[in-house]
Amino acid sequence: MATMLNGAAVMDAALLLIASNEPCPQPQTSEHLAAVEIMRLKYIIILQNKIDLIKESQAREQYDQILQFIKGTVAEGAPVVPISAQLKYNIDVVCDYIVNHIPVPIRDFTSAPRLIGMSSLSACFYF
């Protein structure tokens, strides 16, 4: 998880990918949502992937699972987009949402850089 959080430190938004042919949440999905929570990302899109592999009733059932899973988190209220990455179904919708709803932050390249450091050993030491 430390590697994921180091990468998340430079993110402005998150795409939370959930396989629609598996129950939600899976352990890794919970970890990824925890990372989004830690980083306090404001812009999140939830992608309900592999929608082509299940029936509509299963997709609706999992959609309800997703809403329950994100309730009370920074992801609550985020759009849930059913997609098939393999078939490129709704990928245009995702791209359109990113372009039109997620602002590009102004970068300050003149200030001193900031570093967020994390170590799995930090839990072993008291500072």
- Residue keyed to tokens 């970068």: 107
Percentage with pLDDT > 70 across the chain: 81
- pTM comes to 0.78
Q: Where are the domains of the chain?
A: 2-124
What is the overall mean pLDDT for the chain? 86
Exposure string over 48-64, b if 16+ CB within 10 A, otherwise e:
bbbbeebeeeebeebbe
User: For residue 122, is pLDDT > 80?
Assistant: no
Is residue 7 over pLDDT 70?
no
- The structure tokens listed for 101 are 């709803």
Tell me the CATH number of domain 2-124, given options 3.90.1300.10, 3.40.50.300, 3.40.50.20, 2.30.30.40.
3.40.50.300
Spatial distance between the Cα atoms of 105 and 4, rounded to a whole number of angstroms: 21
pLDDT in tens, 30-84: 999 999 998 889 999 999 999 999 999 999 999 999 999 999 999 999 999 999 9
